[in-house]
Amino acid sequence: MTQGLMKITENKLIAERTYYMMLEGDTSAITAPGQFVNIKLDGFFLRRPISVCDCEDGKLTIIYKVVGNGTEKMSELCPGDELDILCGLGNGYDTSKSGDCPVLIGGGVGVPPMYMLCKKLISEGKNVSVILGFNSEKEIFGVEEFEAIGAKVYVATVDGSVGTKGFVTDVLKDIDYSYFYTCGPMPMFRAIEGIAKTSGQYSFEERMGCGFGACMGCSCKTKYGNKRICKDGPVLEREEIVW
């Protein structure tokens, strides 16, 4: 983990209430897809944990959705502004277990960490499928970016405006895969758990106090006792989770 100031170079709206932000600074602590950063904002006591979308050559990309006062404040920041960031938090995904044809499942703001993971798996020679789930066409982002790096992309929308009408599980049940990786809301996780045909890894979204394991505020029950999502996670393996 590192802490320091990072300079914003881009901050733009890419879908309904969804923003793309690129920053420059020390990204040396980011070593695996699925890690996150914790951002300090002026006027707010707690930092905001945001998944890493991509990280390369000292440039950090995050994608966030405006859901409260903190992320509203982030959306108002401009290129040249600086943010105090705890960088390289969490364990990230383990790609060694993926098999030849893994599937990546992202729901809403759970989509961004799938991008860096997808890049890594494709670099390892894997045949990657990606399922992206949104409520409607207005919320969709990332499809062209995943396709550009060589993934086969499926889209599910709750209202049926694009792709498969329904949920990510309505796509998952009909495709073949060797392993799954996912990030998204808990109801999506429970639905995946009900139909998944292989082992896999879940990246949990939790409210966090400190972001590095000191406060025990984001614990999850596992077969091996309580694990801290920020420190022992956010990625947990399917077989260890107590639902």
Question: What average pLDDT does the structure give for the chain?
Answer: 94
Give the single-character DSSP code of 96: G
Residue 135 is which amino acid?
A: N
Please determine, for residue 232, whether its predicted confidence score (pLDDT) is greater than 90. Answer: no
Q: What tens digit of pLDDT does each residue of 122-179 get?
A: 999 999 999 999 999 999 999 999 999 999 999 999 999 999 999 999 999 999 999 9
For residues 192-208, give the mean pLDDT: 89
Please determine, for residue 210, whether its predicted confidence score (pLDDT) is greater than 90. Answer: no
Q: What tens digit of pLDDT does each residue of 99-117 get?
A: 999 999 999 999 999 999 9
Record the tokens describing residue 140, joined without a space: 């969709």
H/E segment holding residue 82: strand 82-89
Question: What is the pLDDT, as a whole number, of residue 33?
Answer: 97
The more confidently predicted of residues 210 and 169 is 169
- With cut-offs at 50, 70 and 90, classify the pLDDT of residue 219: confident
d(CA 52, CA 162): 26
Question: What is the pLDDT, as a whole number, of residue 58?
Answer: 95
Please determine, for residue 206, whether its predicted confidence score (pLDDT) is greater than 70. Answer: no
- With cut-offs at 50, 70 and 90, classify the pLDDT of residue 225: confident
d(CA 19, CA 21): 6
User: How many residues are listed for the chain in this entry?
Assistant: 243
For the chain, the distance separating the N- and C-terminal CA atoms, rounded to the nearest angstrom, is 30
Record the tokens describing residue 70, joined without a space: 């903190």
The proportion of the chain whose per-residue pLDDT surpasses 70, expressed as a percent, equals: 95
pTM score of the predicted model? 0.94
- Residues near 185 by beta carbon (within 8 Å), at least 6 away in sequence: 107, 108, 110, 205
- With cut-offs at 50, 70 and 90, classify the pLDDT of residue 94: very high
The single residue listed with the structure tokens 């399917």 is 238
Q: In what order do the strands lie in the sheet with 164-165?
A: 164-165, 152-157, 129-134, 103-107, 180-183, 200-203, 235-237
8 Å CB contact between 83 and 72: no
From residue 58, alpha-carbon distances to 54, 64, 163, 232 in Å are 10, 20, 35, 25
Question: What is the pLDDT, as a whole number, of residue 209?
Answer: 62
- Residues near 190 by beta carbon (within 8 Å), at least 6 away in sequence: 243
Question: What is the pLDDT, as a whole number, of residue 239?
Answer: 96
From residue 4, alpha-carbon distances to 35, 38, 51, 184 in Å are 17, 11, 17, 28
H/E segment holding residue 72: helix 69-75
Q: What tens digit of pLDDT does each residue of 233-243 get?
A: 799 999 999 98
- Residue 130, SS3 per DSSP: strand
